[in-house]
Amino acid sequence: MPDDAQPTPSPTLLILCRDLLLGSRITAAAQSAGVAFKVVRDATKLSGQVGERLIVDLNQDGAIDAAAAWKAATSGADVVGFVSHVDAVTIQRARDAGLDQVMPRSRFVEQLAQIVQLSLK
């Protein structure tokens, strides 16, 4: 590597979200906050990814199991999941799986800036 080349920082924030509109909002918030991030669109590709925090759309197929496995494989990593507020079954499954925060999509969007900012700590 040349002397003036900067190493690419490892992402602090992983984003598992297939919703392009919401995914764009999350990445824009991360860019605005200066948080290094990586978007993963497929839950089966989450394993082995490096990060300190995972934001996950729990309505995505396989998201809960993938997020729980990722959390178990990382030490001290934090998982924030969002889901439709009327999807009580998914909310309970995510909590039972050990995800750190599970919230309705509307609250997630309201708190997005703060959630991303916490990725800097």
> Model's pTM, two decimal places?
0.88
pLDDT for 55 equals 97
Q: Which of 65, 63, 54 is nearest to 83 (CA)?
A: 63
pLDDT for 5 equals 45
Q: State the 10-residue block means of pLDDT for the chain, 121 residues long.
A: 47 90 95 93 92 94 96 90 94 96 96 88 60
Map residue 102 onto helix, strand or coil.
strand
Domains of the chain: 13-120 (3.40.50.2300)
pLDDT for 10 equals 62
- Are the C-beta atoms of 53 and 77 separated by less than 8 Å? yes
Distance between CA 114 and CA 121 in Å, rounded? 11
